[in-house]
Structure 1
Amino acid sequence: MAEEELHGIQIHLDRILAERGMTLTELSAQVGITVVNLSVLKNGRAKAIRFSTLSRICDVLGCQPGDLITHDPAGPPPS
């Protein structure tokens, strides 16, 4: 298997869901995206996200894209 591409993008969906008292299943139903796809995003395994999806997530969670996604130029922590 090819080595995973390293990047400094971090997803904070788990923290925001906890702050809102919402489950991934509830978010999935309100946004119209499968739980599996949201889980891929939440766990940092997504390769991309559509702006329309990001917009719907932000609408439902009442947040800004920068609340969900940050960039750390040092890259991800070593596994």
Structure 2
Amino acid sequence: MSNLEMMTILFVCTVCAINLYVSYCVLRSDYYGSAQKAFQFFLIWLLPLLGSLFCYTLAKPDVSHKISFRDDVPEYTGVGLHGLDH
């Protein structure tokens, strides 16, 4: 096998892995309805690299809403490493 064939196979496998991962992220997302998920799957597999990158950036709001901030964490008081500000 030549180097060009090996690079092509590696590229196709990488794109398929990215598409599978993004498809999994879209599938697990509660943020979208079934019609919107179907459109994103179509976009991911019709435009393999561009579609998956676009859908991955759209899937990010689903991750960010799971981050919660605690109210009981004290704010920074200015205490340094050596404890100079008592």
TM-score in terms of structure 1 length: 0.32
Structure number, greater radius of gyration: 2
Of structures 1 and 2, the one with the larger relative CO (CA 8 A, separation 6+) is 1
- The answer to which structure has the higher strand fraction is 1
